[in-house]
């Protein structure tokens, strides 16, 4: 068996929208030289290019997938929303939510992005693959059932999970979201359910501004099965690993899912333009190692990572490559050129003590 890598050149062709970073162009906002939203093809394309140059592709089961079907999408998103999305896409594109522009064909590209996640999860669950990475674009974790936002047009992970449930491949799922922004869409979709444990580690009140609080734990049957771990700006490598060790792993162990799905954003890295954390490529490598270890203990190693955010074109490829090195055990590495510099930029002893105390308080609240 092997590590799967799911990607498709068509996903790099998604685009649209008159923005400068996240600001709509207007009387006092001029276009950037690079143009458009920070969610652009280059972070993903440069990751794929780095993989080719390093030769790690030789150690991965590289493949595309069929798009998610209308039925797949309709398990998560209302028919009315899908119809409007398709019609707007066919008419040349537009924007249905907040910061979610798309061009003609955007519906089909979003369906393909969700299809990559769906197939990655399916092949891990049926034993074809040990684990897998889906380079999905556009991303998905902010998308609510009927309202896309934050660059996310469909909720890729939710679509993949519902397809797995419908096929009878699994019944109990855990989603660990380490994108620096709150996974509000995934949270909303599963908020009243106990068959999906959702855990979001994020910069507090970065995006969205009004979601992701520690006290938001789910409702009804889902009470206690939603967990938010909001961190202040500046939390770095050691804080993220403490969160994984002291909150995430105990929660996953207790829940014992059939599979673990990671919403893998790289925007907690030190160079991201939309966040204020100082994580490194090694942070992602070590978080991946921890997810692999807990997956080995609780769900026969079944682990799927689905690409979400991350907007440093220069640095995201090294973070992604580190994850793939860990997932596959490949000897083909791409050394982090900023490792020494970022090691020196981590919180000092007093700052780290503050972050550790905060993690302890949250662990007491969430894990007990």
pLDDT band at 217 (very low <50, low <70, confident <90, very high): very high
Nearest one of 320, 350, 345 to 333, comparing CA atoms: 320
Calculate the alpha carbon distances from 55 to 59, 60, 208, 334 in Å. Answer: 8, 10, 38, 10
Average of per-residue pLDDT across 302-321: 98
Residue 18: its pLDDT value, please?
85
Interatomic CA distance for residues 271 and 266, integer angstroms: 10
CATH superfamily of 3-24+33-366: Histone deacetylase domain (3.40.800.20)
Calculate the alpha carbon distances from 27 to 16, 19, 23, 24 in Å. Answer: 19, 12, 11, 10
- Whether residue 249 contacts residue 290, with contact meaning beta carbons closer than 8 Å, is answered with yes
Residue 35: its pLDDT value, please?
72
Interatomic CA distance for residues 96 and 280, integer angstroms: 34
Q: Which of 8-22, 64-78, 100-114, 262-276 has the lowest mean pLDDT?
A: 8-22
DSSP code per residue over 10-67: GGGG-----EETTEEPBTTBPPPSS-B-S--THHHHHHHHHHHHHTGGGGEEEE--PP
Rounded to two decimals, what is the model's pTM?
A: 0.97
Interatomic CA distance for residues 5 and 134, integer angstroms: 6
Most distant CA atoms of the chain, gap in Å: 56
Residue 270: its pLDDT value, please?
98
Stretch (H or E) spanning 320: helix 316-328
3 state SS of 260 = strand
Helix, strand, coil percentages for the chain (3-state, nearest 5): 40, 15, 40
Residue 319, strand partner residues: none
Could you report the per-residue pLDDT of 317-359, keeping only the tens digit for each? 999 999 999 999 999 999 999 999 999 999 999 999 999 999 9
259-264/303-307 β-pairing: parallel
Nearest one of 7, 36, 27 to 313, comparing CA atoms: 36
Q: Has 142 been annotated as catalytic?
A: yes
- Whether residue 225 contacts residue 366, with contact meaning beta carbons closer than 8 Å, is answered with no
Calculate the alpha carbon distances from 34 to 21, 45, 116, 271 in Å. Answer: 9, 15, 28, 17
Residue 199: its pLDDT value, please?
99
Residue 368: its pLDDT value, please?
83
Interatomic CA distance for residues 60 and 56, integer angstroms: 7
Residue 1: its pLDDT value, please?
65
- Whether residue 19 contacts residue 36, with contact meaning beta carbons closer than 8 Å, is answered with yes
Average of per-residue pLDDT across 275-294: 98
Interatomic CA distance for residues 42 and 304, integer angstroms: 23
Residue 155: its pLDDT value, please?
99
249 φ, ψ (degrees, to nearest 5): -65, -45
Percent of the chain surpassing pLDDT 70: 99
Catalytic residue among 14, 77, 141, 142: 142
More confident residue, 29 or 187: 187
pLDDT at 33 over 90: no
- Whether residue 252 contacts residue 260, with contact meaning beta carbons closer than 8 Å, is answered with yes
Mean of pLDDT over the chain: 97
Backbone dihedral region for residue 17 (phi beyond 0: left; psi -120 to 50: alpha; all else: beta): left
């Amino acid at each position: 068996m092997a590590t799967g890598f799911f990607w498709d050149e068509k996903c790099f062709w998604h685009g649209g929208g008159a923005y400068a970073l996240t600001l709509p162009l207007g009387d006092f906002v001029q276009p950037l030289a690079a143009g458009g939203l920070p969610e652009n093809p280059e972070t993903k394309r440069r990751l794929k290019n780095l993989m080719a140059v390093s030769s790690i592709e030789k150690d991965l089961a590289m493949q595309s997938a069929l798009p998610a079907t209308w039925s797949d999408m309709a398990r998560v998103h209302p028919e009315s929303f899908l119809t409007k999305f398709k019609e707007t896409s066919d008419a040349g594109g537009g924007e249905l939510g907040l910061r979610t522009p798309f061009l003609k064909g955007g519906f089909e590209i979003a369906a393909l992005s969700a299809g990559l996640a769906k197939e990655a999860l399916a092949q891990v669950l049926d034993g074809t693959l040990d684990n897998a990475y889906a380079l999905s674009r556009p991303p998905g974790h902010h998308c609510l059932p009927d309202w896309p936002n934050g660059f996310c047009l469909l909720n890729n992970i939710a679509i993949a999970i519902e397809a797995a449930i419908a096929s009878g491949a699994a019944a109990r799922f855990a989603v660990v979201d380490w994108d620096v922004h709150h996974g509000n869409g995934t949270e909303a979709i599963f908020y009243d359910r106990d068959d999906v444990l959702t855990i979001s580690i994020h910069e507090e009140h970065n995006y969205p501004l009004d979601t992701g609080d520690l006290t938001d734990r789910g409702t009804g049957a889902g009470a206690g099965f939603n967990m938010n771990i909001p961190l202040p700006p500046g939390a770095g490598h050691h804080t993220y690993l403490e969160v994984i060790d002291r909150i995430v792993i105990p929660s996953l162990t207790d829940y014992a899912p059939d599979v673990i799905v990671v919403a893998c954003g790289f925007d907690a890295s030190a160079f991201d333009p939309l966040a204020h954390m100082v994580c490194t490529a090694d942070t992602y490598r070590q978080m991946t190692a921890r997810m692999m270890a807990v997956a080995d203990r609780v769900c026969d190693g079944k682990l799927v990572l689905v690409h979400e955010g991350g907007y440093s074109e220069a640095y995201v490829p090294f973070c992604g490559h580190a994850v793939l090195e860990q997932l596959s055990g490949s000897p083909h590495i791409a050394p982090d050129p900023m490792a020494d510099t970022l090691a020196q930029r981590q919180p000092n002893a007093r700052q780290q003590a503050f972050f550790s105390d905060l993690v302890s308080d949250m662990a007491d609240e969430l894990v007990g």
